A and B are shown apart, each in its own frame.
Chain A
Amino acid sequence: MGAWQLAEAVTLRPEAFGGMAFHRERGITLEVDAEAYRFLCTCLEPRPLPPPDHPAARLVPQLARLGFLAPAEDGRKAEDGRKAEDGRKAEDGRKQVQPVPHVPWLGDGFTLSAPETVHLAITARCNLSCPGCYVPRFAGPELTTAELRGLVDQWAQMHVFQLAVGGGEPLLREGLFDVLAYARERDIVPNLTTNGMLLTPDVLRRLEWAGVARVNLSWNGPGGGGQGRAVAQALRMLLDSTLQVGVNLLVTPALLPGLPHLLARLHALGVRQVTILRPKPPAIPSEAGAVWYAANRLRRADLLRLRAIMDSWQGVLALEVDSALVGLMGQADPAALRRRGIRGCAAGRRMCTVWPAGRVTPCSFLAGPAGSGPSGRGFSAGDVRQVDFAELWARGENWNALRDPTRQPQGGCTGCKVASQCGGARCVARYECGDLIAGDAECPHFGKGATCAS
């Protein structure tokens, strides 16, 4: 019988419930129980298939099908019981054995030991002025490329799986390709969100060289800076590249009537993956932000209309929704959502945002300064220039309400069968109700006239 081994492109990480495995080439994240995680760790070295009566025997075919286990290059090594040297590269450059992962803080299962994805707003600069943009134009000197590389080192030690690099417009940022390539070198998968205006064949080649997995093109709809023609051109270039391509579509009430036409246009261009984004309240309180949100928020009727449009595109486009729209799945079986790893708003528990000047917040929309948030201390856990990222994450200062597993979302979310997989958008709850764990009053599953409180 041949020997099997954990695929080279898999990152493992222990968690309180067992562990996680991320396939860096396929983009698949597994959560497994403690026993299965221990088994995966044994597969860091080549080993023979377990016998049929071994508890792992049922697991192996599925792990192999998902690409997490692969035939070892030299099966005899496993059968002979010989071990390759820890971390040593084989002659062909392929790592034979990776060390068993260790993380500085295990989390509690509700909050992970490290973010799955860090949202890195790499610059505040932008070549567009989209109304409703949540990124303040200047918030202090931006992290240097050397500081960003240092952060990548810290994230690699924590076994962070992915970076979602945005801005501002990230392509304006000097050192961008260096940071992206360094993340890939440290086994963190970089992804990029751009408005597309600065994409050129040369930029695409550099993104490919840097190992970027997926490029998301932002489409901010009417009033989005007159992107239309430039976005279409950028899309054509992207679709000709080796990169995964997605379009982020910010759906506002003004865009809804034209949404079927826009989806048809994207489909005709060759786009297959579209992520529907929900307008969020301004991250930094401002009068202009409040006016924009009041005009562009999706109310219950809009969300029901959105779902009807999405239903009509079933099977034609691969439509995804952002975490603030998991409420659209309210008819789904919660166990099925759980098995697909859908967890709604995971701000501060599974992801976080690092801002251009180094501030760390639970997400891009819970970013208010001191004077906002719990106890008026804002949502910042601290600054990566002053404290190690791992410590900021473990401490999660000012994130307690998000991290308390006993505090279920209230209001209209009470009793909802998908509450634990969705939970509503916490930034909307905070904005509308002044309470992070209030109900998401715009959810289509709320009864009409629902309030923040239960």
Chain B
Amino acid sequence: MRILSVRHTFEADHSSSTYEFFALDKLAPEQRAAVQELTGEAPHRHLSFHYMGDWSNIPSDWTERLLTLGYDVMVSESYDWWAVHLSLPHDPGLAERLQQYECESDGNGFDVHVAGERMILYFGMQLDYSAVYNAFGEDVFEGLADLFEAVREELLAGDLSAVRATYQTYGGYGEAEPEPVQMSTSEPLSKSGEKLLNIMENY
């Protein structure tokens, strides 16, 4: 049961698109040089891009390239659609477990793909800004980034709570999804998973 699109016709939509990249560790000199060459921006550990107007947006290959150049978390918001990308070292066993929960459809849900030596995880969420604001206050991007830093740590430790929470919210819609995973509802979610589920369910 979904809204497929929202279009404003009388008035131009004043919304915008924001992309914020966070690196957990300092970038290596060669990574800094590559980021500078790609974006023209000073390669700080927090890199931010903001666009207004339909015609202007981040180049389509930047997300993956930056997430393989030392950035670990990317939080973006575009016209009420929120997305978080996580970059993790490629671990075939973990990738196989994660793929069971792939459920991306129309931008909502979860998927994972391998990019060289990294795995890029995507969490798409249709959220009301006020719900995110209520959860994190004014620094909504940093708040979500902090939450997903914790999620990333849990994933590296083998805890898939956040992915289960995403599947619980968005799974079962896509036509090409794999067979539904056996969700263990008795297994408690981590604190991060609970918080994410709460945000997604109360948008």
Contact = CB atoms under 8 A, between A and B. Distances in A.
Shortest Cβ-Cβ A-B pairs, 6 listed:
A27-B10, A341-B7, A318-B12, A341-B5, A328-B55, A332-B57
A91 B4 CA distance: 36
B61 to A, nearest CB: 10
Interface of A: 17-18, 26-33, 35-36, 39, 55-56, 58-59, 61-63, 65-66, 162, 213-214, 244, 273, 307, 310-311, 314-315, 318-321, 325, 328-329, 331-333, 335-342, 417
Interface stretch (B36-44, B46-54, B137-145, B191-199): B46-54
B5 A311 contact: no
Interface residues of B, number: 36
27 contacts: A17-B4, A26-B8, A28-B8, A30-B5, A30-B6, A32-B4, A35-B1, A39-B1, A58-B201, A59-B3, A61-B203, A63-B3, A214-B10, A273-B12, A311-B53, A311-B55, A311-B56, A318-B11, A321-B55, A325-B55, A333-B78, A336-B107, A337-B54, A340-B6, A340-B13, A340-B79, A341-B6
B59 A331 contact: yes
B33 to A, nearest CB: 24
Interface string B168-203: 010000000000000000000000000000000101
B4 A33 contact: yes
A340 B203 contact: no
A177 to B, nearest CB: 20
Contacts of A39: 1
Nearest to A306: B55
A383 B9 CA distance: 28
B136 interface: no
Interface of B: 1-14, 16-17, 51-60, 78-79, 81, 106-107, 126, 128, 169, 201, 203
B6 A59 contact: no
Contacts of B55: 307, 310-311, 319, 321, 325, 328-329, 332
A274 to B, nearest CB: 8
Nearest to B15: A340
A405 B54 CA distance: 25
Contact of A331 (B16, B52, B58): B58
Given A18-B4, A314-B52, A336-B79, A329 B57 contact: yes
Contacts of A31: 3-5
A59 B12 contact: no
Contacts of A325: 55
B118 to A, nearest CB: 20
Contacts of A342: 7, 54
Contacts of B4: 17-18, 30-33, 338-339
Contact of A338 (B8, B58, B106): B106
A335 B79 contact: no
Contacts of A162: 9
B14 to A, nearest CB: 6
Contact of A36 (B1, B16, B107): B1
Nearest to B8: A28
Given A32-B2, A61-B203, 9 more contacts: A27-B8, A273-B12, A311-B56, A315-B16, A315-B52, A331-B59, A331-B60, A335-B107, A339-B81
